[in-house]
Chain A
Amino acid sequence: MRTKELKKKIECGFSELAPDMFDAIMLKIEQDSKQEQTLVEEPAQKQNIFKIVQRRMLPVSAGLAMVCMLALLIFPWKTNEISVVMKINPSIQMILNTSYEVIELKGLNQDGKDVVNALKWEKNEPIDSLMQTLLVDLTEKSYLKQDGKIQLTVSSKKKEVYYEVETVLEKEIEKNLTTLGYTGVSMTCQSTETEKKLVTEESEVPSETEVIEPTVQNDTKTIQTTPQEQKNVEVPKIEEKKPEEKDMVEIKPEQKVLQENKMPEETEKKPVEEEEKTNKDNIADENSDEKKQENSETSNPEINKQESDSESVKDDFPQKEDNKNGENKTKKNKDENLKNKDESSKEPKDKTDVFRNHNSDGKNDIVPNREDENRNKDFLKPDGENKNEIFNERNQENKNRGENFHR
């Protein structure tokens, strides 16, 4: 057998075996092409839909985000909530809603946390009932003692809400304390910064020389002014002190001794002048006391004038001018003082009134005068007897002059 024959037979054999599959192949090609078309179209459609959604959703979502941001800026978070912080030793914060129901109860220190964790309370429980249970719990755990202090700090955006909450809490605490048998417990109420601003704006001081008692105390309640308000009252006092303090600094006892050794005449003059200043301050204090007496005893300005004139003439000429200025001021503010005294003499019905009076304290109050008295005392101490002698001599001279003037 030749190789050619073998090759032919191999070729013929495979040609016999090989099937004609052209139709099947063409069908498959068509099916595949259809599937591919669908596969190509579907992603394209999906992509288109996705693009459309993206195009439409992007501005919408951006707009929503902007609205949310604006809403957060305009309407701050938890606007209507009221927070009440009660400090005994365990300080506890209660967050109330507008209907005075407790939403949250937090312990601000470790004791407070322990108390809150141990306390059985329900959300949206009214403040009065929760306060009752809380006070009972605190007395049982001996946190609250006789002659103890309860400090309440109420913070709310609305002014009215603050007063309402304060009154409700005061009444509730008083009731509970009386039932529990605690009599000597003092309670202080405070407001937060937002409230302070409102209160200070309302009670701006109309005149500088109003004299109102600094603290008003009831039997068991003391109302403390807020730190800002205290600052408002205290700041002008410090300003007034400054020039006097300078004078005091200039004349120290050691310097005086040196000056006396060197120039006796000048040293004699200076203490005299300073004494005159101290006399002025003393007279101003006397005037302030006199004002009270005048308001209480007499309402005739002429008699007061004569009395003040007679007293001023006795003392010194420069004192006359000061007294006149003081009289002018007192004349202007006498009516107002009378009104204020009448108001202050009465017991305050609400704490709010007292609160306002504190804010309307005059800037030239009793406090600097007391300090002046102390200064005068301190000033008189080092020189001692010499100054007293000079003072007496001067007084006699002034009296003589005054008699001559009257004559």
Chain B
Amino acid sequence: MSEGTSKRKVQIDERLFERILQNDQEAFRELYERSYRPLYAFLLSYTQNSEDAQDLLQETYVQIYKNIHMYKSQGNPMAWMMKIAKNMFLMKYRKEKKSQSVSYEDIENELGFGDMSNVENRMILEKMFEFLTIDERNLIIMHDVGGLKHREIAKALEWPLGTVVSRYNKCIRKLKKEFLERQLV
């Protein structure tokens, strides 16, 4: 188990939750440092707006802090945190009733990619948001940024494992193809 956890990109020790329950602010900071990047990516994928993603990220961590006593060891704490983030997004967009079918040109400026220094990284993210759907983006983010395994993703999204794997591979291939075409151009 310890070997499995060491291979993960995001390693979150469950003891942190016990420390946070005892009002240990350092433990909460450590949890934040390990989890805020995948959570932000996850929320940006949903919202397609950097400001909304930042607001939701803030609210998500507030909720995590408040409801830390409700956490039960389910393997990877990242899955629980992403579930909270998704619920926060759904709550916000139920109220605002924002339409999700928007063209990339409309959301290009809102994503906040202009501040990125690495051009290749920026290009890959732009292709992600341009050619992939929300679910496809979330598959890649959950697996490659969040460090969740296909099995954990299947459990979280309530999809079959095969569809999760096949969709993931298809998304990667599609993204690679688009990126290579762009590089050639």
Contact = CB atoms under 8 A, between A and B. Distances in A.
Contacts of A13: 116, 118, 121-122, 124-125
Interface stretch (A20-28, A332-340, A391-399): A20-28
Contact of B58 (A3, A16, A17, A24): A24
Interface stretch (A4-12, A116-124, A356-364): A4-12
A18 B58 contact: no
Contacts of A25: 32, 58, 61-62, 65
A300 interface: no
Given A9-B121, A28-B58, A21 B179 contact: no
B144 A22 contact: no
Given A11-B9, A13-B118, A18 B41 contact: yes
A26 B180 CA distance: 43
A18 B115 CA distance: 11
Contacts of B41: 14, 17-18
B128 to A, nearest CB: 7
Contacts of B32: 22, 25
A52 interface: no
Contacts of B33: 22
Contacts of A20: 36
Contacts of B9: 11
Nearest to B169: A3
A29 B25 CA distance: 11
Interface string B172-184: 1001100110010
Contact of B121 (A12, A21, A28): A12
B113 interface: yes
Contacts of A16: 116-118, 121
Nearest to B113: A17
B116 A17 contact: yes
Contact of B124 (A6, A21, A29): A6
Given A21-B57, A22-B29, A29-B65, A14 B125 contact: yes
B145 interface: yes
Interface string B7-42: 001000000000000000100110011001110110
Given A21-B58, A25-B58, A14 B141 contact: yes
A21 B35 CA distance: 12
Q: How large is the interface on B (under 10, 10 to 19, 20 to 34, 35 or more residues)?
A: 35 or more
Residue among A18, A24, A32 with the highest chain B CB neighbour number at 10 A: A18
A19 B56 CA distance: 12
Contacts of A15: 37
Interface in B108-126: 112-113, 115-118, 120-122, 124-125
B41 to A, nearest CB: 4
B34 to A, nearest CB: 12
Q: How large is the interface on A (under 10, 10 to 19, 20 to 34, 35 or more residues)?
A: 20 to 34
A40 interface: no
A14 B40 contact: yes
Nearest to B183: A1
B126 to A, nearest CB: 9
B44 A1 contact: no
B87 to A, nearest CB: 17
B62 A28 contact: yes
B179 A14 contact: no
B54 interface: yes
A26 B179 CA distance: 39
B50 interface: yes
B153 interface: no
B50 A17 contact: yes
Interface string B85-117: 000000000000000000000000000110111
Contacts of A18: 36-37, 40-41
B140 interface: yes
Nearest to A31: B62
Nearest to B32: A22
Contacts of A29: 61-62, 65-66
Nearest to B175: A6
A317 B117 CA distance: 157
A283 to B, nearest CB: 116
Contacts of A19: 40, 54
Contacts of B44: 14, 17
20 contacts: A3-B172, A6-B179, A9-B118, A10-B125, A10-B145, A11-B9, A11-B37, A12-B121, A13-B122, A14-B38, A14-B141, A14-B145, A16-B121, A17-B41, A17-B112, A18-B37, A19-B54, A24-B58, A25-B62, A32-B66
Given A1-B179, A12-B121, 4 more contacts: A6-B124, A17-B44, A22-B29, A32-B66
Interface of A: 1, 3, 6-7, 9-22, 24-26, 28-29, 32
